[in-house]
Amino acid sequence: MEKESPIRQPARRRLLGGGAALVTATLGLGFLGKRIGQAEPQSGGAADSTVTVTAPSGAPIELRLYGRNWHIQGEGPRARWARPERGQSQVVFGELLDGAGDSAGVAKVGEFYATCTCVDAPFGAGPLAAAFVEHHTLNLSEGTLTGMGTSQGEESTFAIVGGTGRYVGARGSYVARQLPVELGGDGTAELVLSITLDGVATRNGTA
């Protein structure tokens, strides 16, 4: 039986399980999004996305980033639905945006880089099996976020294991849905992050 690509396999999980409402936010461009438990603005005017945001230390922030020009290159076959052999490595890269598509108002906020090593479910197929071990770096304007984990389909969950610059000490997790061109995708991606930072107050991109 021919093996499916680990990226084109149909997704089986909804983003952040349960499809809770998420806030679209720009990383490193003045605000980080809505913190769980954040108080609503008390004034009668419209909310200002650059005003100071405060929350108890450890309160997570929900973020959504979009990808374009998503590609995968490296060792192994290039045919659609094909999978590299165990031990072969590939790289994935793309641009990160603050909105979907190329419509007016959508801005590039970073770049994504990953290394993927094929492990090809050595103990057989199943819910605990993995096709790849992945290490991710999100290069953003005020630092980087790093993540890692395993994948076995087009949508997988990864741990946030740290960061640099503004994101030192970052922790949490994110769901990444990746559709690289080389595997028959449209070159897009979507990352939904639940992230906790040590800094609890930001204004215009400064802690």
* Token code pair at residue 201: 């107050």
Q: Output the pLDDT for position 21.
A: 30
| Segment 56-108, tens digit of pLDDT | 556 888 989 999 999 999 987 655 556 789 999 999 999 999 998 777 789 99
pLDDT at 88: 93
Considering the four listed CATH numbers 2.130.10.10, 3.30.470.20, 2.40.480.10, 3.90.1150.10, the one that applies to the domain covering 54-199 is 2.40.480.10
Check: CB of residue 59 under 8 Å from CB of residue 35. Answer: yes
Rounded to whole angstroms, how far apart are CA atoms 62 and 191? Answer: 11
Is pLDDT of 117 > 70?
Answer: yes
Taking residues 6-30, report their average pLDDT: 37
> Is this prediction's pTM over 0.85?
no
| Lowest mean pLDDT, pick from 16-20, 35-39, 142-146, 152-156 | 16-20
> What would the pLDDT profile of 145-199 be if each residue is shown by its tens digit?
999 999 988 899 999 999 999 899 999 999 999 999 988 899 999 999 999 987 5
Each domain of the chain, given as residue ranges in start order, spans 54-199
Between residues 191 and 17, the one the model is more confident about: 191
Higher-pLDDT residue of 143 and 202 is 143
Report residue 143's pLDDT band, with 50, 70 and 90 as the boundaries.
Answer: very high
CA distances from 52 to 28, 30, 41, 45, 70 (A): 14, 10, 11, 16, 34
Q: What integer pLDDT is reported at residue 67 of this predicted model?
A: 97
How far from each other are the two terminal CA atoms of the chain, in whole angstroms?
A: 54
- Mean pLDDT, residues 115-121: 95
Mean pLDDT, rounded, of the chain? 75
Strand pairing of 171-179 and 155-163?
antiparallel
**Res 6: pLDDT:** 41
Residues 6+ apart with CB under 8 A from 74: 84, 88, 89, 90, 91, 116
